[in-house]
Amino acid sequence: MDKSDLLYTQYFLFQWGTNTGKGDLTLDPQFTSQAQAALPLVKGLRFIANDEVESYINMWHYDKKEIADSATIWPAEPWEITAATERLVTSGKLAYSTGEATARNVDWLSLLIPVHAEMIKEELQKMKNEGYVPAALKGIVTVVNATKRYDASINWITNHKNAVIGNGPFYLDSYNPAGGIITIKAFRDPSYPFPEGYWASFENPKLATLQSVNAPQFISMQQPTVVVSLAVNVGGKPSNDALVNYFISNKDARVVVQGVAKAASGANNLGTYNIILGHNDTSKLSVGPNTLKIFANSREAFKPDIYSTVLIQNFSRFKG
């Protein structure tokens, strides 16, 4: 895998995610409609070196690591496999989706089916004979490098009878459609940094759950302090080892207050968290209903438990 694979993945997203009108061959209604929603978020790539790249995405999330995960750009297959399937689809021999397959009366493309893999292999051979380099990779991939890629994928399909070429720790060795048998084998690369069993601790993730939320329904503009108390479990037990974020939106659905709940001190308060709102916070709220949303995550597994309630701010003066 190199920069050409990353670039071709981006090309495909934009090329097949954009409808240029009548006569656009790189259009699939099912894929295009989904891709169009993602395109405004993707802002591009910047290669620092051939083996180092920055990915830019325009989105917001309260956990910045989640934004980084959303900006992942690793391709699912080599560029030459994608390019070969493009040629098959645009020539009307196969379709990328069930809808287009039905509309065009052709097969829905599957990299797994031996007949389709053989079609891809034949197309790769044609590309090799043509000295073909996709327009999106001109000036990046030479004919010599493209030929090496074609040969490698042709050999894979010859040996495995499928075109599923991935980049993970397992590979699809063979598929027997008549017997309904798929054989998966481990790819044991000695340079892989994690030994067998390293990830076993994540088989049963310890999730955070909000056991209870004690929040006042009504608050006063003049109230000096508002406290929302929470009981949080991690892995089914009270724990202070959680990340609890909160957001308060006003009547216009705009977030005006946000922060992180604090774990209460003391051995008897295990799993107790407090959201403390001072006058500076409550002064930002709308008179009337405001929405409080709480997200609880464990530090081991990102799957938030979410709670939402309404805080109603009134005019009355608080008397302590």
pLDDT in tens, 188-197: 888 888 888 8
Tell me: do 154 and 242 sit in the same domain. Answer: no
The per-residue b/e assignment along 277-286, b for 16 or more CB within 10 angstroms, e otherwise, is beeebbebbb
Contacts of 248 (CB under 8 A, 6+ apart): 255, 256, 257, 258, 277, 281, 285, 290, 291, 292, 293, 311
Instruction: Using pLDDT thresholds of 50, 70 and 90, give the confidence band for residue 319.
Output: very low
Domain count, the chain: 2
Tell me: do 233 and 181 sit in the same domain. Answer: no
Mean pLDDT, the chain, as a whole number? 92
Task: State the residue range of the domain holding 137.
Answer: 3-186
Cα 83-87-88 angle, rounded to 5 deg = 115
Query: 231-264, pLDDT tens digit by residue?
Result: 999 999 999 999 999 999 999 999 999 999 999 9
Tell me: do 32 and 138 sit in the same domain. Answer: yes
**Alpha-carbon distance values, 97 to 24, 29, 117, 186, 237 (Å):** 16, 8, 17, 30, 46
Residues 126/120, Cβ–Cβ less than 8 Å: no
**Alpha-carbon distance values, 191 to 51, 185, 188, 195, 219 (Å):** 17, 18, 9, 10, 59
Query: 209-223, pLDDT tens digit by residue?
Result: 999 999 999 998 778
Please report whether residue 286 resides in a domain.
Answer: yes
Q: What is the SS3 assignment for 144?
A: helix
Tell me: do 49 and 131 sit in the same domain. Answer: yes
Q: For residues 23 and 8, what is the distance between their CA atoms, to the nearest angstrom? A: 22
Tell me: do 53 and 172 sit in the same domain. Answer: yes
Please report whether residue 64 resides in a domain.
Answer: yes
Query: 150-187, pLDDT tens digit by residue?
Result: 999 999 999 999 999 998 889 999 999 888 999 999 98
Calculate mean pLDDT across residues 20-38.
89
